[in-house]
């Protein structure tokens, strides 16, 4: 009889309660960014980056991950100059 593998989980705090959350399977980065490109306009991506750039938390790992995501989104719209231009058009 084959033993069933339990999915990996981590503990999270949701509305003051401790819950176990399943760790998602790894996703191919290209699939993620293709989905973002297909569903978000360059202006929306620029706005998201504008709000992510100043984010600081009390967790350096989270800060690193948010910074990485903002960098990848910036590449998605064509770099810093393009992101800045789009954000300026939006009044950000």
Task: Round to whole Å and give the CA distance between 67 and 8.
Answer: 26
The three-class DSSP label of residue 19 is strand
Contact call for residues 89 and 52 (beta carbons, < 8 A): no
Q: What domain range is 38 assigned to?
A: 27-89
Strands 9-14 and 17-22: antiparallel
| 23-73: pLDDT as tens digits | 766 667 788 888 888 999 999 999 999 999 888 999 898 899 999 999 999
pLDDT of residue 48: 94
Domain count, the chain: 1
User: Residue written as tokens 């989270």?
Assistant: 62
What letter would DSSP give residue 90? T
pLDDT of residue 67: 93
**pTM of structure:** 0.66
Residue 34 lies in a domain: yes
Burial of 72 per CB tally in 10 Å (0-12, 13-18, 19+):
middle
Residue 21 lies in a domain: no
More confident call, 31 vs 88: 88
Residue 14 lies in a domain: no
């Amino acid at each position: 009889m084959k033993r069933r593998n339990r999915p990996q989980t981590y503990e999270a705090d949701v509305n003051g309660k401790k819950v176990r959350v399943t760790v998602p399977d790894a996703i191919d980065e290209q699939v993620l960014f293709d989905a973002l490109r297909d569903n978000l306009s360059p202006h929306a991506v620029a706005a998201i980056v504008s709000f992510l750039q100043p984010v600081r938390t009390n967790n350096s790992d989270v800060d690193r991950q948010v910074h990485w995501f903002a960098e990848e989104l910036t590449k998605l719209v064509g770099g810093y100059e393009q992101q800045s231009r789009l954000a300026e058009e939006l009044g950000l």
